[in-house]
Amino acid sequence: MAFWWPLLVLALALVICKFLLMLLPSNVPSINVDASDVLDDGNQTKENSFIYIPSRRQTDKVQCYEPATMKYLGFFPALKPDEVKERVAQARKAQKIWAKSSFRQRRQFLRILLKYIIEHQDLICEISSRDTGKTMVDASLGEIMTTCEKITWLLSEGERWLKPEYRSCGRSMLHKRAKVEFYPLGVIGAIVSWNYPFHNIFNPMLAAIFSGNSIVIKVSENASWSGCFYLQIIQTALAAVGGPENLVEVITGFAETGEALVSAVDKIIFVGSPAVGRMIMRKASDTLIPVTLELGGKDAFIVCEDVDVPHVAQVAARAALQSSGQNCAGAERFYVHKDVYSSFVAEVVKIVKSVTTGPPLAGKYDMGAICMQEHSEKLQNLVTDAVDNGAEIVGRGHVGNIGEGAVDQYFPPTVIVNVNHSMELMQEEAFGPILPIMKFNSDEEVIKLANDSKYGLGCAVFSGSQRRAKQIASQLHCGVAAVNDFASTYMCQSLPFGGVKDSGFGRFAGIEGLRACCLVKSVVEDRWWPLIKTKIPKPIQYPIAENGFEFQVSLVEALYGLTVWDRLRALVHVLKILKGQNPSTNNKRRNE
Q: Residues for the chain: how many in total? A: 592
Instruction: Please say if 294 is a catalytic residue.
Output: yes
Q: What is the CA radius of gyration of the chain?
A: 29
What is each CA distance from 19 to 9, 13, 15, 115, 213, in whole angstroms? 15, 10, 6, 20, 34
> What sign results for the dihedral spanned by CA atoms 562, 564, 565, 566?
positive
Q: For the stretch 240-275, what's the b/e string if a residue is b when 16 or more beta carbons lie within 10 angstroms of its beta carbon?
A: bbebbebbbbbbbbbeebbbbbbbbbbbbbbbbebe
**CA atoms of 242 and 30, how far apart (whole Å):** 14
Burial group, residue 545, by CB count within 10 angstroms (0-12, 13-18, 19+):
middle
**CA atoms of 136 and 368, how far apart (whole Å):** 9
Q: Dihedrals φ, ψ of 119, to 5°?
A: -80, -15
**CA atoms of 486 and 301, how far apart (whole Å):** 9
Closest Cα to residue 261, out of 214, 198, 295, 222? 214
**CA atoms of 273 and 297, how far apart (whole Å):** 9
Please give the biggest Cα pair distance in the chain: 103
Catalytic residue among 249, 259, 294, 429: 294
**Contacts by 30-36, CB closer than 8 A, 24 or more apart:** 30/112, 30/115, 30/116, 30/119, 31/112, 31/116, 31/233, 31/236, 31/237, 31/240, 32/236, 33/116, 33/120, 33/232, 33/233, 33/236, 34/232, 35/123, 35/229
**CA atoms of 320 and 350, how far apart (whole Å):** 15
Q: How would you write 372-416 as a 3-class SS string?
A: CCCHHHHHHHHHHHHHHCCCEEEEECEECCCCCCCCCCCCCCEEE
Active site residues: 294
